[in-house]
Amino acid sequence: MVPLNWYMLLSAAVFTIGVFGFLSRRNIIIMFMSIELMLNGVNISLISFSHYLQDMRGQILAFFVIAVAAAEAVIGLAIVIALFRNKATVHVDKINEMKG
């Protein structure tokens, strides 16, 4: 039997890689993929908890996470398309209209 801690370590590693990708890449598509990576890391830990604690609620939570991830990807990619139509770039540092 694989210990639960290994799954949590794996999930933490995937989440951390997602955080690093989000912070250090400036291509908006790859930033979105980093967000998906983080959500997947959380899903791994939710489903492993569901298995080890013998409770189905973890899987249901992961189900909702997948639904929200789908919605987020759809909206985000629509924003990317609208942005590319106006600015012709996917590099987020070049999008500085608001001077934030």
Dihedral-angle region of residue 89 (phi above 0 means left; psi in -120 to 50 means alpha; beta otherwise): beta
- Is 95 a residue that touches another protein (CB under 8 A)? no
CA distance 56 to 49: 9
Considering CB under 8 A, how many residues would be counted as binding another protein? Answer: 72
CA distance 11 to 14: 5
Site for another protein in 8-47 (CB under 8 A): 8-10, 12-21, 23-27, 29-30, 32-34, 36-37, 40, 43-44, 47
Site for another protein in 54-93 (CB under 8 A): 54-57, 59-60, 62-64, 66-75, 77-82, 84-85, 88-91, 93
